[in-house]
């Protein structure tokens, strides 16, 4: 009985100590896109090494979720792989939040299929027809006789928004299109389903899936940086107003300009904005 | 010696003997107050649980009312086109595919899990030796403790490619996949409760049946299971509630295609449930937009769906009870 009492007191004091330590640390909340997520997670690791008193939490739930969190004041930085929509901006201003965009890298939305699929390229119009349900079988495009399984990201995703704007031209997708909720999950579905077609950010292309040429152009760092690949987009960090010079938020938002930042962006498979 | 046994009648002692033992409030204020206070506290705690259910219903209904008054509930119940995030007037709020999806997944899970669970319960309570029962019961209950996201992971990474390869499905994340996983999740609950209620049926009933010449099968199917029917149905209801409310598994394993499968019996097509829609979309919608309200309307539909399933089961239970004449 005596030993259990001592053990309980010890664990309680450890918790109190942790709580006290956490209160002293500065907390930076970052929420948003699963595309920008890996970059920001790597940034925050480096950052916490350089500034040990700062604790950074990164939540990857989708660009839409990040915008909503910034509007409600639940996070300091929202990472988004698309620009804020007009109604999000209006909501923000109504709540007293003035969103400022910082573009930190370039990204391309790559269309991927299973490695066994013989198709090598598609036009934007063919992509649109696949996702609106006009083309339903791979043999209509010169491939094997299998029903196409189109896979899309859920609507809170910036990758979805970019695809919606640039490829779908805002047309509504067909009923049989499947929804997944993150980039890795989309890649996993395409990897395991022979008749699947989906889209992921450039950083998630690996040897398990095959990228297609869109309108004759292959997605790569050069074509995205030049803007010739049709479905390329900048990745943003949004803050409430321009962060104060010298504050932690400002240092984080300008980290992409440093040598370390650009190395990280390059290593994650994205395209740095500067001439790295 | 004889004197101590004879009753030396004293009126005081007699009165004390015949006085009621229950003390009046004036005599024992502390006892009275503590007794009634205890009852009041327990009553308040019970009220709290009832209140919680009513408040949940009220909160969801309050947030759903703006959508119902503005757009009306007709489109939500009859159209299958679900595009709430489209801009302005081109947004469509057709929830029929979601409702049908939830129905497919629940009915599928029940059809797959109830026979297996009942047979397992019968085996564990009557046919298996006690040692087998001692080992099997905890293992089955561990199945109930596995987090649902682990099941969802298994469904997407292992079960979906397996289905595509061996059963030649176009897509492995479909209604059948979710029904299978939900059946596995609902089974431990049903087995546990059904087995307990079958064990509780006393030896006398079984022995009476055997003494009349019934075989083991006849005893089991015509005597014991009907005697334990209220517990079995309670177990089935619990399992069904688990299947209806499950979110993570269907979000990952059902494919989330907002459609009603084309020949209605084709379970290899992707479907979407109400729970997955709410979980997937509520995070991104800013407060007080149409999208936000319609998601709460879908939540209200889900609550009504659950309660009506519950009421239907209670109705059948009462009817069966009345017909059989047992309490």
- pLDDT of B60-74, one tens digit each? 999 999 888 888 888
Residues of chain B with pLDDT under 50: 326-327
Distance from CA of B175 to the nearest CA of A (A): 12
Cα separations in angstroms, B163 against A47, B1, B176, B269, B276? 45, 95, 10, 12, 22
ipTM above 0.85, yes or no: no
Give the pair of three-digit tokens for residue B208. 């009476």
| pLDDT attached to residue A229 | 87
Whether the predicted pLDDT of A24 surpasses 80? no
For the cut 80, the answer to whether the pLDDT of residue A16 exceeds it is: no
User: Angle of helix B175-200 relative to helix B130-145, nearest 10 degrees?
Assistant: 140
Indicate yes or no: pTM above 0.95. Answer: no
Q: Is A78 helix (H, G, I), strand (E, B) or coil?
A: strand
CA distance A241 to B24: 72
Supply the DSSP symbol for B44: H
Give the model's confidence band at A275: pLDDT under 50 very low, under 70 low, under 90 confident, else very high: low
**Nearest-CA distance from A149 to chain B in Å?**
7
> Does the CB of B207 have a partner CB in chain A at under 8 Å?
no
pLDDT of residue B327: 44
Q: A149 vs B170: CB contact, 8 Å cut-off?
A: yes
Q: Provide the terminal-to-terminal Cα distance of chain B, rounded to the nearest Å.
A: 59
Kindly list the residues of chain A whose beta carbon comes within 8 Å of any beta carbon in chain B.
61-65, 67-68, 71-72, 87-88, 91, 146-147, 149, 154-156, 170, 172, 175-181, 185, 188-189, 192-196
- Alpha-carbon gap, residue B167 to B228, rounded angstroms: 39
Assigned token pair, B183: 């059946």
Task: Measure the CA–CA gap between A17 and B249, rounded to whole angstroms.
Answer: 38
pLDDT of residue A30: 94
The band of A19, judged by pLDDT with boundaries at 50, 70 and 90, is: low
| Closest listed residue to residue B171, CA positions, set A189, A162, A103 | A189
Query: What CA–CA distance (Å, rounded) separates A203 from A219?
Result: 11
């Amino acid at each position: 009985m005596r030993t259990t009492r001592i053990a309980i007191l010890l664990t309680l004091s450890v918790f109190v100590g942790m709580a006290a330590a956490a209160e002293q640390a500065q907390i930076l909340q970052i929420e948003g896109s699963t595309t920008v997520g890996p970059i920001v997670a790597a940034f925050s690791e480096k950052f916490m090494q350089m500034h040990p008193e700062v604790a950074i939490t990164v939540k990857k739930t989708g660009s839409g979720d990040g915008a909503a969190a910034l509007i409600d004041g639940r996070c300091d930085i929202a990472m988004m792989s698309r620009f804020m929509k007009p109604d999000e901006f209006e909501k923000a201003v109504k709540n007293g939040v003035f969103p400022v965009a910082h573009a930190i890298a370039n990204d391309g939305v790559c269309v991927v299929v299973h490695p066994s699929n013989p198709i090598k390229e598609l036009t934007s119009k063919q992509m649109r027809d696949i996702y609106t349900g006009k083309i339903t079988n791979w043999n209509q495009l010169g491939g094997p006789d299998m029903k196409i399984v189109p896979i899309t990201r859920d609507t809170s995703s910036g990758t979805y928004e970019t695809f919606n704007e640039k490829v779908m031209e805002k047309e509504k997708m067909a009923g049989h299109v499947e929804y997944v909720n993150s980039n890795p999950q989309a890649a996993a579905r395409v990897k395991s389903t022979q008749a699947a077609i989906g889209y992921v950010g450039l950083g998630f292309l690996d040897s398990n899936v095959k990228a297609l040429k869109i309108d004759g152009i292959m997605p790569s760092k050069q074509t995205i940086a030049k803007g010739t690949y049709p479905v390329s987009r900048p990745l943003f960090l949004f803050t409430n107003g321009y962060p104060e010079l010298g504050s932690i938020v400002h240092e984080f938002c300008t980290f992409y300009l440093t040598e370390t930042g650009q190395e990280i962006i390059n290593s994650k498979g994205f395209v740095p904005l500067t001439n790295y | 010696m004889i004197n101590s046994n004879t009753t030396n009648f004293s009126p005081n002692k007699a009165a004390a003997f015949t006085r009621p033992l229950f003390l009046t409030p004036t005599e024992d204020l502390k006892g009275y107050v503590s007794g009634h206070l205890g009852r009041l506290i327990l009553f308040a705690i019970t009220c709290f649980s009832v209140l919680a259910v009513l408040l949940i219903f009220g909160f969801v209904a309050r947030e759903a009312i703006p959508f119902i008054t503005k757009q009306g509930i007709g489109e939500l119940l009859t159209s299958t086109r679900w595009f709430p995030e489209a801009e302005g007037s081109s947004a469509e709020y057709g929830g029929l595919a979601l409702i049908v999806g939830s129905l497919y997944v629940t009915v599928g899970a029940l059809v797959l899990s109830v026979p297996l669970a009942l047979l397992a319960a019968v085996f564990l309570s009557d046919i298996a030796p006690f040692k087998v029962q001692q080992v099997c019961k905890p293992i089955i209950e561990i199945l109930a403790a596995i987090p649902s996201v682990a099941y969802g992971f298994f469904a997407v990474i292992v079960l979906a490619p397996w289905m595509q390869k061996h059963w030649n499905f176009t897509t492995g994340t479909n209604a059948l996949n979710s029904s299978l996983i939900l059946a596995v999740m609902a089974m431990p609950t049903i087995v546990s409760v059904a087995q307990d209620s079958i064990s509780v049926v006393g030896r006398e009933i079984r022995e009476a049946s055997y003494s009349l010449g019934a075989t083991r099968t006849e005893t089991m199917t015509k005597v014991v299971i009907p005697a334990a029917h209220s517990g079995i149905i309670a177990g089935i209801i619990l399992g069904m509630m688990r299947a209806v409310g499950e979110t993570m598994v269907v979000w990952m394993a059902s494919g989330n295609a907002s459609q009603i499968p084309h020949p209605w019996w084709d379970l290899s097509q992707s479907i979407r449930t109400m729970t997955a829609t709410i979980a997937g979309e509520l995070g991104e919608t800013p407060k007080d937009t149409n999208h936000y309200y319609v998601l709460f309307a879908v939540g209200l539909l889900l609550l009504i769906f659950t309660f009506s399933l519950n009421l239907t089961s209670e109705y059948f239970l009462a009817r069966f009870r009345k017909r059989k004449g047992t309490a």
